[in-house]
């Protein structure tokens, strides 16, 4: 029998635009069995055939077996014509609705002040992601308290309510679905907690995320990292972070640019920003390679080194693209 929460999770993430490969990797990494995952996918990805198509096929099936007579030929002409005639107002209504929705215009052709800009959508997504991180941090803190008291993790998050570790179970602010929790082991000495992000947020990439007792979310630190990366707050350059100085030699459009970095502190991750480019490296030795822009001019490169001890190192350089 397919676990309902697993099926719901797959359907929701497919709807949100994540690939089957991404979802499979997260589920398998979270401890779900391969057969359970494939069975759930086989149900979640079924595309039912519209009932109208079944009726039309039954209507036209006899014609495929023998040469149609006069009534058959009339039916062949009339049915498609009726479909087209019936579709015209539907298409017209849909087109008008779509135009009204996306253009923000009302019946009198004036612009709707409630039209949502891309900047507002991005801001909403950022707010959602910040809320998700706070939710996950809250859940993980409750799980830690439960483990301290019971020496095992709960089989479901509802047990956190019974133990008074949580007043309510946080849900995703956008989808209103529960975050995917799975107790691992018997007794449960480990767990997997999965959520998704709408944006690249600090050191985390957009998409599915998976945490466990060894990977604790610290929402405030990630929020600070996100503000630094996006330039919302400015950090002073860190002398201990050494990066390639690109200012010494000009490059031609499309040429390869390489930036290497090192630090006395052990780094867990590094991010390079050169608008609109964003590159991430999660493995030592840290090294970035990208192509120079086509347009000539001077470009800034910002590099962030995220140390395993929690500190954030910052350094910057510039390069020039010559004609």
201-247 pLDDT tens trace? 999 999 999 999 999 999 999 999 999 998 888 889 999 999 999 99
Band (47; pLDDT cuts 50, 70, 90) = low
Predicted confidence at residue 126, as pLDDT, reads 92
Predicted confidence at residue 48, as pLDDT, reads 55
Q: Which of 286, 287, 303, 295 is nearest to 251 (CA)?
A: 295
C-alpha–C-alpha distance, residues 34 and 56, integer Å: 39
Is residue 261 pLDDT above 60, yes or no? yes
Across 79-88, 117-126, 190-199, 231-240, the highest mean pLDDT is recorded for 190-199
Mean pLDDT of 6-27: 79
The H or E element that residue 257 is part of is: strand 256-262
Predicted confidence at residue 45, as pLDDT, reads 79
Is residue 64 pLDDT above 80, yes or no? no
C-alpha distances in angstroms, 18 versus 7, 118, 211?
Answer: 15, 21, 18
Mean pLDDT of 74-102: 39
Predicted confidence at residue 233, as pLDDT, reads 87
Predicted confidence at residue 49, as pLDDT, reads 52
Q: Which of 223, 209, 165, 214 is nearest to 189 (CA)?
A: 214
- For 264-279, the pLDDT digits (tens) are 999 999 999 999 899 9
Predicted confidence at residue 40, as pLDDT, reads 83
Q: Which of 194, 177, 223 is nearest to 136 (CA)?
A: 194
Residue 11 or 161, more confident: 161
C-alpha–C-alpha distance, residues 81 and 111, integer Å: 38
Is residue 192 pLDDT above 50, yes or no? yes
Q: Which of 155, 131, 160, 147 is nearest to 213 (CA)?
A: 147
- For 274-299, the pLDDT digits (tens) are 998 999 999 999 999 999 999 999 99
Q: Is the pTM of this model over 0.85?
A: no
Q: Among the listed ranges 59-68, 198-207, 259-268, which one has the minimum average pLDDT value?
A: 59-68
């Amino acid at each position: 029998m397919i676990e309902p929460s697993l099926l719901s999770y797959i359907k929701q993430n497919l709807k949100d635009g994540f690939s089957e490969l991404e979802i499979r990797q997260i589920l398998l990494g979270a401890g779900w069995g391969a057969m359970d995952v494939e069975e759930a996918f086989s149900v979640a990805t079924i595309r039912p055939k519209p009932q109208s198509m079944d009726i039309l096929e039954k209507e036209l099936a006899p014609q495929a077996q023998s040469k149609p007579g006069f009534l058959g030929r009339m039916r062949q002409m009339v049915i498609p014509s009726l479909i087209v005639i019936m579709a015209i107002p539907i298409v017209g209504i849909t087109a008008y609705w779509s135009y009204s929705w996306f253009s923000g215009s009302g019946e009198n052709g004036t612009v709707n002040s409630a039209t949502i800009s891309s900047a507002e959508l991005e801001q909403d997504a950022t707010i959602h992601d910040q809320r998700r991180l706070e939710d996950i941090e809250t859940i993980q803190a409750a799980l830690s308290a439960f483990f301290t008291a019971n020496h095992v993790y709960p089989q479901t998050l509802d047990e956190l309510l019974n133990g008074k570790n949580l007043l309510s179970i946080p849900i995703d602010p956008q989808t209103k679905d529960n975050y995917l929790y799975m107790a691992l082991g018997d007794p449960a000495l480990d767990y997997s907690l999965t959520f998704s992000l709408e944006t690249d947020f600090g050191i985390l990439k957009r998409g599915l995320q998976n945490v466990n007792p060894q990977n604790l979310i610290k929402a405030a630190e990630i929020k600070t990292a996100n503000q630094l990366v996006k330039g919302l707050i400015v950090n002073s350059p860190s002398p201990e972070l050494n990066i390639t100085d690109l200012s010494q030699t000009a490059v031609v459009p499309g040429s390869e640019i390489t930036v290497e970095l090192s630090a006395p502190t052990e780094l867990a991750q590094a991010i390079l920003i050169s608008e609109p480019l964003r590159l991430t490296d999660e493995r030592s030795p840290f090294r970035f390679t990208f192509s120079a822009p086509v347009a000539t001019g001077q470009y800034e490169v910002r590099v962030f080194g995220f140390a395993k001890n929690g500190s954030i190192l910052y350094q910057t350089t510039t390069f020039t693209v010559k004609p």
